[in-house]
Chains A and B, each alone.
Chain A
């Protein structure tokens, strides 16, 4: 079975540009979350989507946005890139968003974004 897939694998942008990262969840999973992992740190939560609606947002500026499509895939968009946006962006999927917080999140390999 295919796991979570992300594209592209690597990306180089310059300051001020815009970037779109893509994620396909595990088949049957309806929830997608995005995390930012800066070098040497643990992942930081950015967004969670479930059934195409935003269900949670981390402490990130409005330059960060996302959406989920009818097939449950997702895009993360970042506008006006800053040097500090350089990081590994991880997508995670889970079967559904229950009320007990125990749903396991399965992570993709990530997209390495470098901002010059």
Chain B
């Protein structure tokens, strides 16, 4: 079984500041990791995914995440926050384990607020 913990249900940054959203995972087999963003009253949009190739993954809108196996982490970063980044961010894991690879297991989400 796999699980995801997102540290901090709410993160507030100033426009132009570094964005750091934390995600730790638990998986008994090598995981596949995803970050999704959800704007108000919308579905989920994929930001980036890790599939065991490069450990540093670049996504859309200037976001990137680094897979650290030793720390079981997959934190999301962006060097400079923009007002349009304000949204809820979800980390998710799937794993190639006994046919359960179809299922995404999500964290509880982190609401990002960007202050002018």
Known: A56-B103, A104-B49. 8 other contacts (CB 8 A): A4-B43, A33-B102, A33-B104, A43-B44, A50-B102, A100-B32, A107-B36, A109-B41
Q: Please determine whether A102 and B32 come into contact, CB atoms closer than 8 angstroms.
A: yes
Q: Please determine whether A42 and B108 come into contact, CB atoms closer than 8 angstroms.
A: yes
Q: Please determine whether B106 and A101 come into contact, CB atoms closer than 8 angstroms.
A: no
Q: Please determine whether B102 and A31 come into contact, CB atoms closer than 8 angstroms.
A: yes
Identify the B interface with A (CB < 8 A): 4, 32, 34, 36, 41-46, 49, 51, 90, 92, 94-96, 99-109
Name the residue of chain A whose CB is nearest to the CB of B90: A42
* Interface membership of A25, Cβ < 8 A: no
For A, the interface residue count at a CB cutoff of 8 angstroms equals 30
Q: Please determine whether B103 and A42 come into contact, CB atoms closer than 8 angstroms.
A: no
Enumerate chain B residues within 8 angstroms of A50, measured Cβ to Cβ.
102
State the CA gap A58–B94 with chains docked (Å).
14
* B15 nearest CB across to chain A (Å): 26
Which of A31, A40, A102 touches B51 (beta carbons < 8 Å)? A102
Enumerate chain A residues within 8 angstroms of B34, measured Cβ to Cβ.
104
Enumerate chain A residues within 8 angstroms of B43, measured Cβ to Cβ.
4, 90, 107-110
Q: Please determine whether A41 and B104 come into contact, CB atoms closer than 8 angstroms.
A: no
Which residue, of A40, A42, A48, has the highest number of chain B Cβ atoms within 10 A?
Answer: A42
* B2 nearest CB across to chain A (Å): 10
Q: What 0/1 readout, one digit per residue, does chain A (90-103) give for beta carbons within 8 Å of chain B?
A: 10100001111110
